[in-house]
Amino acid sequence: LNFYHSKKKRNIHSSFFFSTELRTLGMWYRQLMGESIGKKLNLDGNEVRNGITPVVSIGSTDLHSMGQLYFGGPNDKFTNIITVTRGGYHKVPYNALLPGLVKNIEGKTLNEIMEAVAKGTIETYRKLELPFVHIELENMIEYEIGYYLQFRMMEMMYLAKLMNVNAFDQPQVELYKEETSKVLENGV
């Protein structure tokens, strides 16, 4: 799907995590995608300047800023919405200090509210006919996170193959390291 959408000029990949605890997982994926397919040369040695720009958003925190861009801005993004199914204990009280400020949340757990926000976001993507996939983790346990990591590593290997680039080298990263070394050698 990433390859397909990159061919359709959707060269921004948005990982939209609906759990603040998964922010670092999004940053890991951003690094994986950037270093795996952001290449100057293809496997034939031809200059291609290939890549997809990975961005990370956190729901519901980023819905106002990034949601506006994703829903109303250019159709140059392919979004992965990642949610976690799990129970919750903390509930919004019925006798809230400001009753009625937000409708229909009294007695709901914080996880139920986040799930509603995620479902509302998914429905908005559908209605606007914007490209996305929904990845649902059953829980935030080692098995599920490991499964997700493995899935993404395999995805990058296949994506690199489709893009005809080497997923396992990062020659351009060495450039800044060499320049940094020179600066340190000559004094800052």
Q: Which of 90, 177, 178, 185 is catalytic?
A: 177
Q: Which of 35, 106, 112, 155 is catalytic?
A: 35
Helix (H, G, I), strand (E, B) or coil at 90: coil
Q: State yes or no: is 5 an active-site residue.
A: no
Name the nearest CA neighbour of 168 among 25, 1, 39, 50.
39
DSSP summary character for residue 91 = B
Q: State yes or no: is 108 an active-site residue.
A: no
Q: State yes or no: is 185 an active-site residue.
A: no
Name the nearest CA neighbour of 80 among 158, 161, 5, 162.
5
Q: Which of 47, 64, 127, 185 is catalytic?
A: 64
Q: Which two tokens stand for residue 116?
A: 């509603």
Total Cβ atoms within 10 A of residue 147 = 13
* Bond prior to 57 in cis (omega within 30° of 0): no
d(CA 10, CA 57): 17
Classify the phi-psi angles of 34: left when phi > 0, otherwise alpha if psi is within -120 to 50, otherwise beta. Answer: alpha
Helix (H, G, I), strand (E, B) or coil at 29: helix
Q: Give the residue numbers annotated as catalytic, written as ranges.
A: 35, 64, 177
